[in-house]
Amino acid sequence: MGTDIGQLGRIFTSSSAYADPVAWHAAAERIRREQPVLRVTSERYPDFWAITTHADVLEVERHPDVFTNGPLPVITTKDRVAGAAEAPIKTLIQMDGAEHKTHRGIVNEWFKPGSVRRLQERVTELARQHVDRMATLGGECDFVNDVALHFPLHVILSILGLPESDYPRMLQLTQELFGPTDTDLGRGGDSALEVILDFVRYFTELTADRRATPTDDLASVIANARIDGAPIADLDTFGHYVIIATAGHDTTSSSIAAGLLALLQHPDQLALLQAEPDRIDQAADEIVRYTSPVKHFMRTCREPFELHGVTIQPGDLLYLSYASANRDETVFADPHRLDVTRQNAGNHLGFGFGQHFCLGVHLARMEIRTMFRELLPRLRHVELAGEPTWIHANFVQGPKSIPIRYDLV
């Protein structure tokens, strides 16, 4: 007798479940087959519907007026639900409707393909620096901690315009915010608010500085934004800094780290990209599909809605499982295989869809492509030098450590 399907629903909340990706995907596959809109009940978390197929996640994303991001965009334990709804700082992911449109409009221009292309030279320079550093490490390193964690952070902080001396502090804060259920990385307990307050202290100073002396960096765009003709409120500037500094970091580093691990586990695909580096651009989307570093976002239902034969009621919570949708066998043939030539890889939902579609998508793709274009052709040999480990988290998640042995040109 197999595990009861209701019990399987814990894979969506349990941080340790995500740390065993093979078992996680086997469970999700069964849920997609047997009960794709699954009611999940537990002691720690409010009840929710897990939405697991590609078509259903898309359907929910297509109805932002019925399914709102606020007040709970991310799974939250029962004891923290009230606090989360009253959080003093609101970011894009907590906003809906006109408020979301106004705030997204402030930063949208900066992240459009044309603007992002201007950054290519700097991104290449940073990627090369990180690969050069790998070359000095004596042929062995932990790819997560020595490379993947630092490169995207340096890109984000460099476009925000922060000095390099502040990078280590930002690295620590973003890890604390996104890994709070992981014993090694998080502060434990009710730490999210504390970490956000640390950001506030840092960015208050930054805003004052960019208002006094605007430059052409992203921090200046945020600090000097106007809403309905009036200067943006300080609290709103923090919301923008927090979401960009955090959403732009662990997501991309997890894609790069989990991407290299996936290539090591699919040596034919690694060999193909090394032999034909022109395929790397297309491979970036397959890497995001396969690794899905953002595991979920939540929605709250506002009016009765039929989904896959289930009536979702106002007030019900929905858990959009991007990780499951991206392995949906009805959309992606042989979904558990990394296939860098997959023609429809771009249909993945790893960046979401619709009004909240990832703001940083063009930058993220550029970073993944640039890192692998710099790294793969220089790797004469690469292999695992130990067991990789995974972060215990249920929101943004990926490898915690990937020991590798390599020979770099």
Residues that bind ligand HEM (CB under 6 A): 61, 92-93, 104, 156, 243-244, 247-248, 251-252, 255, 288, 293-294, 297, 322, 350-354, 356-360, 363-364
Beta-carbon contacts of residue 172 (< 8 Å; ≥ 6 apart): none
Exposed e or buried b for every residue in 93-108, given b needs 16+ CB within 10 A? bbbbeeebeebbebbe
Least Å from the CB of residue 384 to ligand HEM = 23
Closer to ligand HEM by Cβ: residue 27 or 294: 294
Least Å from the CB of residue 164 to ligand HEM = 18
Least Å from the CB of residue 57 to ligand HEM = 9
CA nearest neighbour of 118 among 218, 240, 255? 218
Closer to ligand HEM by Cβ: residue 13 or 254: 254
Closer to ligand HEM by Cβ: residue 5 or 55: 55
Least Å from the CB of residue 34 to ligand HEM = 25
- DSSP letter string over 199-255? HHHHHHHHHHHHHHS--SSHHHHHHT-EETTEEPPHHHHHHHHHHHHHHTTHHHHHH
Cis ω before 335 (30° cut-off from 0): no
Closer to ligand HEM by Cβ: residue 48 or 322: 322
Least Å from the CB of residue 368 to ligand HEM = 6
Closer to ligand HEM by Cβ: residue 398 or 406: 398
Q: Please state, in angstroms and as integers, the Cα–Cα distance from residue 331 to each residue in 55, 147, 199, following that order.
A: 9, 33, 40
Closer to ligand HEM by Cβ: residue 273 or 294: 294
Closer to ligand HEM by Cβ: residue 276 or 357: 357
β-bridge partners, 317:
300
Q: Residue 312 is inside which H or E element, if any?
A: strand 310-312
CA nearest neighbour of 68 among 98, 41, 23? 98
Q: Enter the tokens of residue 395.
A: 């929101």
CA nearest neighbour of 345 among 272, 281, 252, 265? 281
Least Å from the CB of residue 101 to ligand HEM = 9
67 φ, ψ (degrees, to nearest 5) = -115, 105
Q: Among all chains, which residue has been given the structure tokens 């605007």?
A: 214
Closer to ligand HEM by Cβ: residue 103 or 400: 103
Q: What is the C-alpha separation between 185 and 384, in angstroms, rounded? A: 23
- Side chain identity at residue 93, one-letter code: I
Least Å from the CB of residue 296 to ligand HEM = 8
Least Å from the CB of residue 181 to ligand HEM = 19
β-bridge partners, 218:
none
Q: Residue 391 is inside which H or E element, if any?
A: none
β-bridge partners, 311:
306
